[in-house]
Structure 1
Amino acid sequence: MAKPFGDRIILRGLKFLGIHGVNEDEKLFAQDFTVDIDAWLNMEKAAGTDNLNDTVSYSNMYRLVKEVVEGKHFDLLESLAESIAITIFSKFPLISDVRVRIGKPKVAAKYNADYVGVEIFRTSRVSLSS
């Protein structure tokens, strides 16, 4: 599957507290998560009109990602990432593709790493049927 190129909204290093993981201690206490988002959409109209209504607000996208990460518990980061992607597509129909990267910094300390995590890439089902 070829990854898109072109216009995209980029959110890097978003930090949230969430309760996600398979171990019992991960289900009891909130821990730090980092999230990076790349969201592809055509920004040509917004560039010409200089109007926020012709694009996607990164502030709104941040709030949406925060709701997902700090909301429902997921055992797997894969499921959390998928939920973020699905929610982005449902709330922002201008977005055709999204990459979601999630890191768990505290778990990574065991491995002497900045974080461990997952990254997914999804294409909107709406854009596939167009």
Structure 2
Amino acid sequence: MAKGTRFATILDGLEVTMGLGIHPEELAAPQRVILNVRIEVDYPAPPAEDRIEAVLDYDFIRTGIRELVAGRHFNLQETLCEAVAALCLRDDRVCEVTVRSSKPDIYPDAAVGCEIVRGRG
């Protein structure tokens, strides 16, 4: 695809309560997880109209993530990030996605997380 105009669509600080982890306390109860997603989108030209149909609607990302985490327990943050990236790459206009997850309540003095970058090809 010829490059046109690239925009980044960002979903920052999405907080979900979900099953994530391998330790007994993580298996016993859902925990708070924070997700940040940056999606690089190529458009043939800048949107000519001020309409949501002209761009990537971030509602589908937020809704898709909520559905994804509601339906299962993830053992690893890496697996969670891969699943979120795959969700974003379903839209053919997406050329690259960065997904960062964070478990802010594991340690009293630090959050733990994972970040991946995935693209086409």
* TM-score, normalising length: structure 2: 0.87
1:3 counterpart residue number: none
Question: Which residue number corresponds to residue 94 of structure 1?
Answer: 93
Q: Which amino acid aligns with 1:8?
A: A
Unaligned runs of 5+ in 1: 1-5
Q: CA RMSD in A?
A: 1.6
Contact persistence 1:14–1:34 (CA under 8 A): yes
Corresponding residue number in structure 2 for 1:11 = 11
Could you tell me which amino acid in structure 2 is paired with residue 72 of structure 1? R
The structure carrying a bigger helix percent of its residues is: 1
Percent identity at matched positions? 26
The alpha carbon displacement at 1:82 in A equals 0.4
Q: Counterparts of 1:5-84 in structure 2 under 5 Å?
A: 6-43=6-43, 45=45, 47-84=47-84
Distance in 1 (alpha carbons) for counterparts of 2:44 and 2:92: 16
Specify the SS of the correspondent of 1:98. Answer: strand
For the 8 Å contact 1:18–1:71, the answer to whether it is kept is: no
Q: Distance in 2 between matches of 1:70 and 1:45?
A: 36
Q: Which amino acid aligns with 1:21?
A: G
State the shift of 1:26 in Å: 0.8
User: How far off is 1:71 after superposition?
Assistant: 2.4
- Runs (4 or more) in structure 1 with deviation over 6 Å come to none
